[in-house]
């Protein structure tokens, strides 16, 4: 199954309570899930993933990008010529046989001379240019260029250098970013560091969760999945997708083909089957490890959620949702925490 449609159980709160299966209750906790799934080894699940470390180069790259976006023309250097290593602000238009080609025109673009981001000859052709100067660069696209219509073709880029970005950072520019309580270069650099480290930790956790869920399901042996369970997932995800499609003005088949490379019915079938398997496997682990949510625990947690959300009561907080949906969601969280804490992690 495509990795693009693997479901993380922490997202399943949006799915309505599972439908009934025969004479059994619709709630997962009341189902005899062991009839449908035999657990494999679920402690020490392998998870190989990149570390959450952030290096100084990443911090500098993002800091520089944010900083340069706030440099205005009046702050730029205009009293000297461009040299290798400068970052310049340019306007350019590319033409082939005198006709502008798609993707070859931009204004206010940032370019570091020597970065190799543009085709050979483009950056070198701007060395020695003075801000305000316009140059015509006669160049060849590489033979292996990704656009077959331009690969190996002769073109002319008309480029105007607007200004050179200052090489030293200033608090004045940082203050223009408009970030609360960030007014100096050092404060901005720390802000970027904190952001990247937080993002790296979140990405690490999501990747870890995805891998342990994949490996949990892969190690299980499933009997025939109750169709009522699968259908409930199918119906609910269809409802959500149809709402998205209506907002975007597209039909559901077009939406699925664009996002998932398959028609809607194929996607919904695969999604529902995978969601049902994951849910049954999670419930089986909860049963084995005593991770189910009691009525008292459910009520206490819902009261906390209601208070944090400013609701007068649990009933007001729940609205039209059934509390069993939340029971299952909280169980999913507990099982996922158990699996990740007991995973065998290898970082690279």
**Does pLDDT of 6 surpass 80?**
no
Confidence grade of residue 3 (pLDDT, cut at 50, 70, 90): very low
Largest Cα–Cα separation, the chain: 83
Q: What average pLDDT score do residues 197-226 get?
A: 95
Interatomic CA distance for residues 3 and 260, integer angstroms: 10
Mind listing the pLDDT tens digit for each residue in 244-257? 999 999 999 999 99
Q: What average pLDDT score do residues 284-312 get?
A: 96
**Does pLDDT of 148 surpass 80?**
yes
Task: Quote the pLDDT of residue 254.
Answer: 94
Q: Considering only 44-53, 177-186, 225-234, which range has the smallest mean pLDDT?
A: 225-234
Confidence grade of residue 323 (pLDDT, cut at 50, 70, 90): confident
Task: Quote the pLDDT of residue 229.
Answer: 85
Q: CA-CA distances (angstroms) from residue 84 to 111, 115, 269, 295, 306?
A: 11, 9, 56, 69, 59
Q: Considering only 22-31, 84-93, 228-237, which range has the smallest mean pLDDT?
A: 22-31
Mind listing the pLDDT tens digit for each residue in 68-112? 999 999 999 999 999 999 999 999 999 999 999 999 999 999 999
Q: What average pLDDT score do residues 15-20 get?
A: 35
Mind listing the pLDDT tens digit for each residue in 154-204? 999 999 999 999 989 999 999 988 889 999 999 999 999 999 999 999 999
Using DSSP, state whether 111 is helix, strand or coil: strand
**Does pLDDT of 24 surpass 60?**
no
Interatomic CA distance for residues 13 and 7, integer angstroms: 12
**Does pLDDT of 233 surpass 70?**
yes
Task: Quote the pLDDT of residue 320.
Answer: 83
Cα 235 to chain centroid distance, Å, stands at 25
Confidence grade of residue 34 (pLDDT, cut at 50, 70, 90): very high
Please, where are the H alpha helices in 56-178? 56-69, 171-175
Q: What average pLDDT score do residues 269-283 get?
A: 94
- What is the four-CA torsion angle of 238, 241, 245, 251, rounded to 10 degrees? -40
* All residues at 6 or more sequence positions from 50 whose CB lies less than 8 Å from its CB, including other chains: 204, 207, 347, 348
Query: Which position has the token pair 């952001």?
Result: 195
Confidence grade of residue 293 (pLDDT, cut at 50, 70, 90): very high
Q: Considering only 14-23, 171-180, 290-299, which range has the smallest mean pLDDT?
A: 14-23
**Does pLDDT of 29 surpass 70?**
yes
Model confidence, pTM: 0.76
Task: Quote the pLDDT of residue 26.
Answer: 52
Both structure tokens of 300: 């206490």
Average pLDDT, the chain: 90
């Amino acid at each position: 199954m495509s990795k693009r449609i693997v479901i993380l159980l922490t997202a399943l709160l949006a799915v309505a309570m599972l439908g009934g299966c025969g004479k059994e209750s619709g709630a997962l906790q009341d189902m005899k899930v062991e009839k449908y799934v035999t657990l494999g080894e679920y402690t020490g699940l392998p998870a190989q993933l990149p570390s959450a470390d952030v290096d100084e180069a990443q911090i500098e790259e993002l800091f520089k990008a944010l900083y340069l976006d706030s440099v205005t023309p009046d702050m730029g250097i205009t009293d000297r010529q461009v040299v290798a290593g400068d970052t310049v602000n340019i306007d350019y238009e590319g033409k082939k046989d005198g006709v502008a080609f798609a993707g070859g025109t931009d204004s206010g673009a940032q370019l570091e001379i020597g970065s190799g981001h543009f085709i050979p000859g483009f950056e070198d052709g701007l060395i020695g240019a003075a801000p305000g100067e316009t140059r015509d660069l006669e160049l060849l696209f590489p033979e292996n260029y990704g656009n077959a219509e331009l690969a190996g073709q002769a073109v002319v880029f008309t480029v105007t250098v607007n200004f050179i970005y200052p090489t030293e950072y200033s608090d004045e520019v940082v203050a223009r970013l408009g970030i609360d309580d960030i007014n100096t270069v050092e404060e901005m650099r720390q802000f970027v560091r904190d952001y990247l480290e937080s993002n790296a930790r979140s990405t690490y956790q999501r990747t870890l969760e995805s891998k342990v869920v994949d490996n949990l399901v892969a190690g299980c042996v499933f009997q025939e999945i109750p169709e009522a369970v699968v259908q409930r997932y199918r119906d609910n995800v269809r409802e959500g997708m149809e709402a998205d499609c209506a907002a975007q003005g597209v039909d559901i088949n077009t939406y699925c083909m664009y996002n998932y490379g398959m028609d809607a019915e194929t996607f919904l079938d695969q999604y529902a089957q995978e969601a049902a398997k994951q849910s049954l496997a999670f419930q089986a682990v909860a049963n084995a490890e005593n991770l189910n949510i009691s009525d008292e625990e459910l009520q206490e947690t819902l009261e906390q959620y209601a208070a944090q959300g400013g609701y007068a009561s649990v009933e007001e907080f729940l609205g039209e949702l059934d509390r069993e949906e939340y029971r299952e969601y909280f169980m999913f969280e507990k099982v996922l925490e158990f699996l990740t804490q007991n995973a065998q992690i290898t970082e690279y």
